């Protein structure tokens, strides 16, 4: 039975389509890295191609704010008509890429985030942040060699969340 509490966000497995994962992408620059994450969102059915252009435009306009932690970029834009449903993509890079962030470059992991509205944006981001908050899980994600390994990590994370909820342990 799913947790119906208001603080419960969407399950990562609901947000991360099976074909929204790319391992070892070749990206010569940050634009190509963001485009890879956007292409995965399109392939996963979360967005139209125009959303990828919106993500790139956001970096061009606002700078490398998307580089949220050492080695991690969260590619996203504002909710828009180009977003069909909430979704996440995961792209690991064959070679790290500089986004121009003074502390957190170079980027090894690009996570695409799409949400149809502000509420969906916040809950999807919360779920993702919890998943990425464990340093060992993050390193395993970056080192994954197949999309199946990533899906296995997501499934294990969801099992841990469910077990903690059953035991009344805050996640």
CA distance 77 to 45: 17
Which residue among 76, 94, 101, 152 is the active-site one? 76
76-92 tens-digit pLDDT: 999 899 999 999 999 99
The set of residues, in sequence order, having a beta carbon less than 8 Å from that of 77 and lying 6+ positions away, is 51, 54, 55, 57, 58
The per-residue pLDDT for 139 is 93
| Residue 94: active-site member | no
Answer for the pair 45, 97: CB distance below 8 angstroms, yes or no: no
**Full-model pTM:** 0.88
Q: What is the CA radius of gyration of the chain?
A: 15
Return the DSSP state at 47. B
- Distance between CA atoms of 53 and 169, rounded to whole angstroms? 41
């Amino acid at each position: 039975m799913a947790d119906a509490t208001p603080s419960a966000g969407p399950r990562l497995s609901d947000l991360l389509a099976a074909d929204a994962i790319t391992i070892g992408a070749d990206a010569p620059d940050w634009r190509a890295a963001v485009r890879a994450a956007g292409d995965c969102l399109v392939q996963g059915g979360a967005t139209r191609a125009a959303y990828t252009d919106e993500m790139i435009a956001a970096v061009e306009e606002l700078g490398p704010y998307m580089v949220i932690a050492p080695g991690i970029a969260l590619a996203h834009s504002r909710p828009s008509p180009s977003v069909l449903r909430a979704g996440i993509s995961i792209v690991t890079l064959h070679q790290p890429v500089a986004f121009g962030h003074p502390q957190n470059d170079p980027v090894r992991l690009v996570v695409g985030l799409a949400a149809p509205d502000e509420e969906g944006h916040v809950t999807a981001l919360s779920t993702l942040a919890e998943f990425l908050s464990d340093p060992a899980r993050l390193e395993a994600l970056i080192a994954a060699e197949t999309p199946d390994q990533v899906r296995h990590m997501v499934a294990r994370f969801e099992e841990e969340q469910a077990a903690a909820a059953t035991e009344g342990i805050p996640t």
